[in-house]
Amino acid sequence: MNDPRYTKLASLLINYSTRLKKGETVLIDAIDIPDEFTVELMRAARRAGATPLVEVRHSRVLREVQRATNQTHARTVAAIEMFRMKKVQAYIAIRGAANASENADVPRDRQQLYAKTLRPVQDYRVNKTKWCVLRWPSPSMAQGANMSTEAFENLYFDVCTMDYPKMCRAMAPLEKRMKKADRVHLKSPGTDLAFSIKGIGAQMCNGDRNIPDGECFSCPVKDSVNGIIQFNTPTIYSGTKFENVRLEFKGGKIIQATANNTKRLNEILDTDPGARYIGEFSLGFNPHIMSPMCDILFDEKIAGSLHFTPGQAYEICDNGNRSAVHWDMVLIQRKEWGGGEVWFDGELIRKDGLFVPKDLRALNPENLK
pLDDT digit string, tens, across residues 210-236? 888 899 999 999 999 999 999 999 998
Percent over 90 (pLDDT), the chain: 83
Residue 293 pLDDT > 90:
no
Nearest Cα to 106, choosing from 268, 238, 295, 276? 238
Nearest Cα to 56, choosing from 16, 26, 27, 86? 27
Stretch 142-150: mean pLDDT:
88
Is 255:248 a contact under the CB 8 Å cutoff? Answer: yes
> Crossing angle, helix 108-128 and helix 262-269, to 10 degrees?
50
Stretch 236-258: mean pLDDT:
95
- Residue-wise pLDDT for 340-353, tens only, equals 999 999 999 999 99
Could you say which DSSP state residue 314 is in?
P
Per-residue pLDDT at 98: 79
Q: How many CB atoms lie within 10 A of CB 75?
A: 13
Phi, then psi, of 227 in degrees rounded to 5? 120, -160
Is 20:90 a contact under the CB 8 Å cutoff? Answer: yes
Per-residue pLDDT at 90: 97
Residue 284 pLDDT > 70:
yes
Per-residue pLDDT at 25: 98
- Residue-wise pLDDT for 317-327, tens only, equals 999 999 999 99
What is the rounded distance in angstroms from the CA atom of residue 352 to the CA atom of residue 94?
33
Stretch 278-286: mean pLDDT:
97
Phi, then psi, of 324 in degrees rounded to 5? -75, -15
Could you say which DSSP state residue 213 is in?
-
Stretch 29-58: mean pLDDT:
97
Q: Residue 162's pLDDT band (boundaries 50, 70, 90)? A: confident
Is 205:213 a contact under the CB 8 Å cutoff? Answer: yes
pTM of the model: 0.78
Per-residue pLDDT at 97: 81
* Domain locations along the chain: 4-160, 164-368
DSSP string, 2-69: --HHHHHHHHHIIIIIS---TT-EEEEEEES--HHHHHHHHHHHHHTT-EEEEEEE-HHHHHHHHHT-
Per-residue pLDDT at 1: 53
Residue 36 pLDDT > 60:
yes
Stretch 290-318: mean pLDDT:
93
Phi, then psi, of 208 in degrees rounded to 5? -105, 5
Residue 129 pLDDT > 70:
yes
Is 254:269 a contact under the CB 8 Å cutoff? Answer: yes
Per-residue pLDDT at 297: 83
Would you mind telling me the total number of residues written for the chain in this entry?
369
DSSP E strands, the chain: 25-31, 51-57, 90-95, 130-135, 183-188, 191-196, 203-205, 215-218, 226-230, 235-237, 240-242, 246-250, 253-258, 278-284, 305-310, 329-332, 341-344, 347-351, 354-355
Percent over 70 (pLDDT), the chain: 100
CATH classification (class only), 4-160: alpha beta
Per-residue pLDDT at 271: 92
What is the rounded distance in angstroms from the CA atom of residue 144 to the CA atom of residue 45?
32
Is 296:235 a contact under the CB 8 Å cutoff? Answer: yes
Residue 85 pLDDT > 70:
yes
Residues 6+ apart with CB under 8 A from 76: none
Strand order in the sheet with 329-332: 203-205, 215-218, 278-284, 305-310, 329-332
Q: What is the mean pLDDT of the chain?
A: 94
Per-residue pLDDT at 238: 84
> How much helix, strand and coil, in percent to the nearest 5, is found in the chain?
40, 25, 35
